[in-house]
Each structure stands twice: as C-alpha cells, then as structure tokens.
Chain A
Amino acid sequence: MIRKAIATGLAPLAIVLALTGCGQESVTESPTVTPAPVRTSAAPAPTASVDVPVAAATPSPPRRAVPPTSVSIASIGVDVPVVDVGVEEGGFMELPEDPAIAGWYRWGSDPTSETGNTVISAHVDAPGYPIGPFSRLRDLGAGERIEVADADGVVHPYVLESVTYYPKAELPVNELFSREGEGTLVLITCGGAFDSATGRYQDNVVAIAAPA
C-alpha cells in the first residue's frame, strides 16, 4: 500500500524539506517548527488534514483457506474424514450424504483463520447408511479433547465446552457461523425426536469446543 497523505505530527525535518521544496524561506531557522503555523502560512503547499489509506484499485488475492480434513474424538471413538461443503437449495448448510463423512462449511472460517468459528457437521443418520459417528457427540463431556487435522497436515486441538440441543428453528445460526471472535470449533448434527412424516429430527445437537 502506498500512503501518500501526510499526517500531522511528522518529523520536523520532513516539513522543512517540504517547505524548502516550495521555495519558501524563513523555514530553516527552527527545526522544531510545528505543523500548525505551517498550515496557516500564506503560500506553501498544504499537507493533508487526515491520513487516508490509498492503494491501487486492483483486486487483492483472496485469503487461501486451509480446509479441515478430519475430526478425531478419542473419548467417543470418532474419527471421521471432512470434506468441503457449501449451501444447498433453500439456503441450508450442505452435508455429505454419508453420515460417516463430515462437511466443513467452506464459506466460514477454518482452524487457521484469525477469527471466526470453524463449523463442521454430519448427518446423524441417513436412509441406507449405518448410524453416524456424530450420534455420539451427545455423550461428550466438558473438557474432553477434540482434534481437527487440516489440509496442511497440522492438527488443531480443542477442548469441549458444551453440548446443547436446539429445536431446529431456534438454532442460533448467526452465532454458530460467526466469522468474528475467537476461533471456536462448532460440531453440529441432529437429535431429539424424529418425525417420520417429514423425515426430520426435531433438534440440532451442537458441540462447542475452544482451542486447547
């Protein structure tokens, strides 16, 4: 970035040079000249009143995400591969069909992001598949360790803070999918009563874990 604006409070030398460049005299006498009288003098080139960032209007390359590739929770025997997922029809988070594979919400943060939650979700069950490993999230206890490996081969440890059942309509999506704040790990699956008419569970089961 090129900063061209000159802020107040510059080193006196710089101001002397600027004024000299304009052919003004009577400025070499004091190296401690302050910006204020300079601005009120009659003819010299003024300095900018505020420091405004200026840069070429060219696109900067987007940050490269480092996708999670697996979630391991030894205490409940979970070790699932993780793939990138986005949004499905209707604005819901997309999920791998197989409950034994979890999906990372690729539009949100990843474990290497400076801020924001890493959201990983898997079906608890699906027609034609065995019950998924995330069915055991509900058995997690506070303080238990969760490890997330990423595509660069780095393992990120987390410690469980809570497991919560939310009725699906009350899932706090803005908080869970937040891209600000501490890099919390959010694991989501389904639970509660199953409505066989709609083929849907009543609740989401949400495990929250903080970086260890």
Chain B
Amino acid sequence: MRKTLAAGITAGAIAAFGLAAPAYAISDTTADLSVLHGIPDTPVDVYVNGELTLDDFQPGDLAGPLDLAAGDYEVALTATDAADASDPILGPVSVTLEANTSYTAVAHLTEGGEPTVTPYVNDISETAPGEGRLTVRHDAAAPAVDVLAGGTPVIENLANPEEATLDLAAGTIEASVAATGTTDPVIGPADVAVEEGVLTIVYAWGSLEDDNLDLAVQTIDGLHSAPDGVPSGSGGQLAERDAMMQTLLIVGAFGVAAAIATSAVVVSRKRAER
C-alpha cells in the first residue's frame, strides 16, 4: 500500500498543536466567584473582607467572575450610601472558596421573603460532545416549583434555595416554571438556549407575592469535549482496490523479472552458441 505522505511532517503533526488545554480549569490556587443580585428593588454595595467590591449593585445584575485566592471570605451587603461595611443590611456571611472551583454567590429572598446569600458551586465538569448543561436555581420568595421544558416537567419539586442540573442535547428549550404539581406557568415560557459545551444557569428570583418573579441567566463556556473518534469508512472498497493494485504491481514486477531473466538466459545461450 502507498503511504504518500507530505514529506517529513508526519512526526511533527501532533507537536505542532502543542498540549491540549484541559476542558476548563481555573487554577490550583484560586477560585472563580460571580455574584448575582436577586433581591428586588434594593440596590446594594457589596463588601468582601471589608473592602468595597461592588458599588451600587443593581437587582438582576451579575458581577464577575472574580479570580480569588482559595480561602475564607466575609461578604456583606450594605445600603448604597454606606461609608463602610459596619452596618450591613445582609451579612456578613462567611464563604469558603476552594481552589479550581467556580462559585456564584446569590443575594436573594428566602421562601418567606427574607434576604439571604447562598453560595452555589457551578458544575464546570466536562460535557459530552453535542451536549450542554442546564442548572436551575430557585432563589425566589415562592413555594416549591416544577420546571417544564416544552410543557413537560423536567425538574420537579425544586424548593428555595435548591438547584437541579441536567445535561441536555444542545438546542433551544421552551422553559417555564410552575408551582409543583401544576403546569400553569408562574414564570415564562421563555426560550432558553442550551449551547454545546456551555453551562447555562437559570435563576428564578423575586417574589410571588409581590408579583415580581423574574429569570436571571448566567453562562460559563469552555466545558466541551471532543468526539470519541471519526468512523469514516465502512465499505472497504478502497482497501480492496489498494490490495488489487498491490497484486498487480507484484504480478507486474514478477513479469518484468521473468522477462529480464528470460532475456538473460537467451543472451547467455546466444553467447554460448557462439
């Protein structure tokens, strides 16, 4: 069989690509922290370890990610006119960040309507080729809910501040949120794009009683993985043809060899006859 390859480059082909980066890595010493503001009508200042980190942070806004050294942090929320963190309206809350981990700290209402902070760990593990990941977090002052995709419950009985995560074929789903056991949407329906290799986090926030339930969306990309392989031949005709060519070549070579041998014999005979 012929192996007509571009001269001399074969061995270098992999080296040329360099080392493939792992699917998604933060670092062995730091964590990523994002902060979501999910308390309606209450702009705040956010202090981390006593330092003003987010000034005039508005409901529905997402901040970050911050690349922070692993360790313990104190987070406090104050009114926007506060001079320091000494008189927080929420906190201080102690948050422990582990290295190489992605967090989202969410300021939100409890089911009973009290402000709180919940630190969530985001699942940034590799996704299968062709799939994306959807995480749903209940951060609203509302009872347990079902999450429906195209009208069918896919997450059931999710209570504040729980979360649920699904890996799904990439595409767009029509998502809605309904009280557990019902299908009448209290939020949505809304189109949610589940992108390949992307974690999409959907937060339900606000208050059912105050009629200001809303969705917030955070995405983290780069979780994709490559296909396992490329099965790109199943007929065998090429191999067959190659084998046939090989045979013809061999036969041809024999023929040439035989002819040479014959003529040599003839020549020597002729010589002998002289």
Nearest-CB distance from B121 to chain A (Å)? 18
What's the A-B contact tally at a CB cutoff of 8 Å? 230
With A43-B83, A53-B63, A162-B6 in contact, is A92–B231 under 8 Å at CB?
A: yes
Write the nearest CB–CB distance from B261 to chain A, whole angstroms: 32
Neighbour of B229 across the interface among A58, A92, A131, CB < 8 A: A92
B62 touches A56 (CB 8 A): yes
In the assembled complex, A149 has its CB within 8 A of some CB on chain B: no
Q: Verify if B272 is at the interface (C-beta below 8 Å from A).
A: no
Contact assessment for B66 and A107 in the assembled complex, using a CB-CB cutoff below 8 Å: no
B63 touches A165 (CB 8 A): no
- Are B6 and A107 in contact, CB atoms less than 8 angstroms apart? no
Q: A160 an interface residue at 8 Å Cβ cutoff?
A: yes
- List B contacts of A180 (CB < 8 A): 21
User: Which of B55, B62, B227 is packed against the most chain A CB atoms within 10 Å?
Assistant: B227
Interface residue count on the A side (C-beta < 8 Å): 83
Please name the residue on chain B nearest to A177 by beta carbon.
B226
Query: Is B217's CB within 8 Å of the partner chain A?
Result: yes
Decide: A181 and B17 in contact? CB cutoff 8 A.
yes
Q: Is the beta-carbon distance between B233 and A138 smaller than 8 angstroms?
A: no
Binds B, one of A9-17, A26-34, A66-74, A190-198: A190-198
Which residues of the other chain, B, contact A125 by a CB distance below 8 angstroms? 233-238
Expressed in whole angstroms, the Cα–Cα distance for A60 and B272 within the complex equals 93
Q: Is the CB of B203 within 8 A of A54?
A: no
- The answer to whether A124 touches B232, judged by C-beta atoms less than 8 angstroms apart, is yes
Bound Cα distance from A44 to B7, whole angstroms: 71
CB A84 to nearest CB in B, in angstroms, measures 12
A145 on the interface (CB 8 Å rule)?
Answer: no
A180-B230 Cα distance, complex, nearest whole Å: 20
Counting CB contacts under 8 A, is A105 at the interface? yes
Give the residues in chain A near B151, CB-CB below 8 Å. none
**Residue tally, chain B, CB below 8 Å to A:** 70
Summarize B's interface: helix, strand, loop or mixed: loop
**Beta-carbon contact of A57 and B10 below 8 Å:** no
In the assembled complex, the CB of B198 is this many whole angstroms from the nearest CB of chain A, namely: 8
Report the nearest B residue to A125, measured CB to CB.
B235
Assembled-state Cα–Cα distance A162/B11 (Å): 9
Chain A residues near B200: list those with CB within 8 A: 59
Chain A residues near B192 (CB-CB < 8 A)? 59
Distance of B21 from chain A, by nearest CB (Å)? 6
Residues of chain A within 8 A (CB-CB) of B56 are: 4
Give A4 to B66 CA distance when docked, in angstroms. Answer: 15
A118-132 contact mask (Cβ, 8 Å, vs B): 1 or 0: 000111111111110
Distance in angstroms between the alpha carbons of A171 and B236 in the assembled complex: 20
Q: Are A49 and B52 closer than 8 Å at their CB atoms?
A: yes
Bound Cα distance A163, B6 (Å): 6
Chain B residues with Cβ under 8 A from A163's Cβ? Answer: 4-6, 9-10
How far does the Cβ of B208 sit from chain A's closest Cβ, in whole Å? 19
Which of B18, B55, B130 touches A48 (beta carbons < 8 Å)?
B55
B61: min CB distance to chain A, Å: 5
B3, B224, B239: most-surrounded residue (chain A CB, <10 A):
B239
Against B, the Cβ 8 Å flags (1 = close, 0 = not) of A39-52 are 00001111111101
| A123 and B216 within 8 A (CB) | no
Which chain A residues lie closer than 8 Å to B218 at the CB level? Answer: 57
Contact A46 B83 (CB under 8 A): yes
Inter-chain contact A142/B230, CB cutoff 8 Å: no
B64 touches A52 (CB 8 A): yes
Please give the residue numbers on chain B whose beta carbons come within 8 Å of chain A beta carbons, in ascending order: 1-7, 9-10, 12-14, 16-18, 20-21, 36, 51-58, 60-64, 66, 81-84, 128-130, 170, 192-193, 195-197, 200, 203, 216-219, 222, 224-241
Could you show 21 A-B contacts with beta carbons less than 8 Å apart?
Answer: A46-B84, A47-B55, A52-B63, A54-B61, A57-B60, A57-B203, A57-B216, A95-B230, A107-B197, A125-B233, A138-B3, A139-B4, A162-B5, A162-B9, A165-B3, A172-B20, A173-B227, A201-B236, A201-B239, A204-B229, A206-B13
Given contacts A56-B62, A87-B130, A162-B5, 10 further A-B contacts (CB under 8 A): A52-B54, A91-B228, A121-B232, A128-B235, A135-B238, A164-B10, A164-B13, A178-B17, A179-B222, A180-B21
